[in-house]
Amino acid sequence: MAGALSGCLSARLDHTTQHAEPRVAGSLHPRSSNLQQCLEELGAPLLVREHMDGALLAWGWADERAFGLNLSIPVARSISANLGYNRSFEGLRGLVLLFDETWTMQSMNRGYLAQILPEERSRPSLIE
């Protein structure tokens, strides 16, 4: 006598976005664009801090996606075997601009903010 095999397959798909990715139209160029041009094109940054003799401005956005599958098959009375798979693509992506003391953009970097933000270095305090 052959028994029927039954089980349960479930799938999950999540998509979350936070903040909009700023559109860089190509008019911003390192060593020639100034702070005003950058703010007019990109809008307000999420982070502003001193960096070296100038400043660092960062914009950030998230576009997170997650996918999962779960398969449950009964193998005996009140015992089930479960198999699961999950994959997520997440992290705060961003754009970081570095400015010199004259407020001229020196560099533009894109990627995950955790990887492209330089270490925070504070200026030494004046000792009197």
Write the pLDDT tens digit of every residue in 4-28.
567 898 888 888 878 878 888 788 9
Cα dihedral 95→96→100→103 (10° resolution) = 40
* Residue 49 CB contacts under 8 Å (≥ 6 apart), including other chains: 55, 56, 120
pLDDT of residue 1: 43
Task: Tell me if 112 is assigned to some domain.
Answer: yes
Q: Which of 40, 63, 54 is nearest to 97 (CA)?
A: 54
pLDDT of residue 2: 47
Q: Can you tell me the distance from the alpha carbon of 117 to that of 92, in angstroms, rounded to the nearest whole number?
A: 12
Beta strand ranges found along 38-119 (DSSP E): 47-51, 54-76, 79-89, 92-99, 105-112
Task: Tell me if 3 is assigned to some domain.
Answer: no
Quick: pLDDT tens for 63-121. Answer: 788 888 888 888 888 888 888 888 876 678 899 999 999 999 999 999 988 888 887 66
Q: Can you tell me the distance from the alpha carbon of 115 to that of 60, in angstroms, rounded to the nearest whole number?
A: 13
Domain count, the chain: 1
pLDDT band (50, 70, 90) for residue 127: low
Quote the pTM value.
0.65
Quick: pLDDT tens for 26-47. Answer: 889 999 999 999 999 999 999 9
Q: Can you tell me the distance from the alpha carbon of 89 to that of 94, in angstroms, rounded to the nearest whole number?
A: 15
Task: Tell me if 128 is assigned to some domain.
Answer: no
Structural domain harbouring 50: 8-18+29-116
